[in-house]
Structure 1
Amino acid sequence: MNLMVYLLLTTALLAAELLYLRVARYYSIVDKPNERSSHTGLTTIRGGGMLFWVAALGAFFYSGFVYPYFFLGLSLVAAVSFFDDLRPLPNRYRIGIQFVAVGLLLRQTGVFPDTVWMMGLSLIIGVGILNAYNFMDGINGITAFYSLVAVGTLWYWHGQQPIDSAGLAISGALLPFTFVALLIFSYFNARRQAVCFAGDVGSVSVACIILYALLPMIRQGETYLPVLFLAVYGVDSILTIIHRLALGQNIFQAHRLHLFQLLVHKGRWPHLRVSAVYGLVQLVINGLILPALTWSAGAQAALAGAILGSLAVTYVILKRRLMHSRV
């Protein structure tokens, strides 16, 4: 893509975001803080991350409609997530659509397990990733910064591959279009007083795009190491679930026990500092993973263990200190 395409894309996406913000203000589509929110007040617009679906739509047209199954799945989860932003939906509806979307994603990438149990496991893991990404959307800038790191890394890798091996749909348009959308969203979200939040429609949509771009890496490299592109979010989400289960809490109810939430509420860190730390730590991890994709299985396992172990130990130490600190 040349400079003119990027200029037209930026103009179109910026216009789409401004139009949505105007419509959302008119219809009062604003954030309503709950037990997991790290904000107060009702003035911040919800659902600004609809821009990621718009970017995927543009990439779909630009690339000649080459990923219909994926785009259908993305559109389904974006629609149900947006309705959930407007009015909470029962979990069975959201989860059901997410299973369908992940199935369509697997069909599009050709990563379709042969056995029923492997298919079921793949669907469960995919839906788990979508929801973990959604759970982590809670403070200004965190979805923007973290997603810029993830999408940027994937864009770089796909750009180094022959088109017919990495896939025209991914390397040609989807990731650069999404990256531009994330930059525009960052302008409105990554500030002390955010203009808008991504909402479920934004966090689930970008998670779906990232998952779609991860699968060719896993298939081509015959390694699950690229999953660690989501290691920081993953460790925080999984260990927080374990912590809540140990406390006897309902893990489907809103809460403030993620590490990033405690850093804000207990540690008194500014939102953007926490978001920047999460993004920078993940960037360093991604920088370690990329050259390791050609290592032996043993070396990759050792690296994965070191990364996950370090994140887990850091999580436990920081959380223990924050949980016992006085506000």
Structure 2
Amino acid sequence: MSSPQPPPKYHEPVQGTVFHGDGREEALLKHLNSLPELSADQTASLSLQDKSQRVLDAIHEFGKQENSYLMSVGDTKGRKVEALISERKPKLILELGSYVGFSGISFSRQLPSQHPNSVYPHEWTSNPEEDRAGYISLEKSEVYADTARGAFKLAGLDKVVKIVTGSSTTSLKNLRKTLNMPRPLKFDMVFLDHLKPLYTIDLKVMEEEGLVGPGTVLVADNVVKPGNPPYLSYVRASPVSKRAILSQTRPTSQPPITPNPTNESDWDSAFKNGPIDETLWVPEEAEGVQADGDPGLVYTSQMLDGWDPYTGERDACEVSVCTGRED
């Protein structure tokens, strides 16, 4: 991991404290709707890029206030993911964890210009030959989903983004039916930014459902802060290692948590001898859904380093490209 200068510090580290779900999300939407510079009259002549950037800036400014920390990807990591989207031009992007819509705005706003002739989510039909593009975002909280929808509308992206509410694991099992999404159609990119223990089981469900596969790019946030050793172990493991772990008995309680590396220089090479035992553990939040995944899929991974946008803590996204399969 490189060491650029961190952003200004606006909040102390928030782990173990109340930092969401206490009314700040509803207050954010009310605040956004009150800003004259985000009104339809003020933004009508702006490009989609400029209009959406105004909303991103307003969300970020709100998060700087006392007791208003927001769980957003931020601009240091966000800009790198946007560059990846600019390079790869994905048509179908799936997000796990809408929260207040910051990442959804940031990562969906290139789609209309990249794919101007495609059909977007609110106009999808049952035609399997349909040239689809769009940003699908899964969110468990109805409150957060409402806030995100409001932000998407202000940003001019409400036709580009579709939010599906409910538990992520269950939603993924039913997503093809929900979206009328026939096989072999899959997502070109997936952004994981929800409950950290669900990253691994949700990826396995996506593999089994064919929602990801060769060519899909996975972008997982917060793999340094707080870290996610099971997920890193899974995407960095060989098919041989993943198949071997499946012969073990699935644990009925959470195994001991593998610590993050103590040395910053070890992050890129850590967890490559997995998968570790935690990859078999299914948290209660998965609501009884179990999955073995598709162990034959091969990923190549690298970390995009960055910062928490408000606390100045080091963080990173793990970018894993599915390059093929080994049967």
TM-score normalised according to structure 1 size: 0.29
Q: Which has a greater percent of helix?
A: 1
- Which one scores higher on RCO, CA 8 angstroms, separation ≥ 6? 1
| Structure with greater strand percent | 2
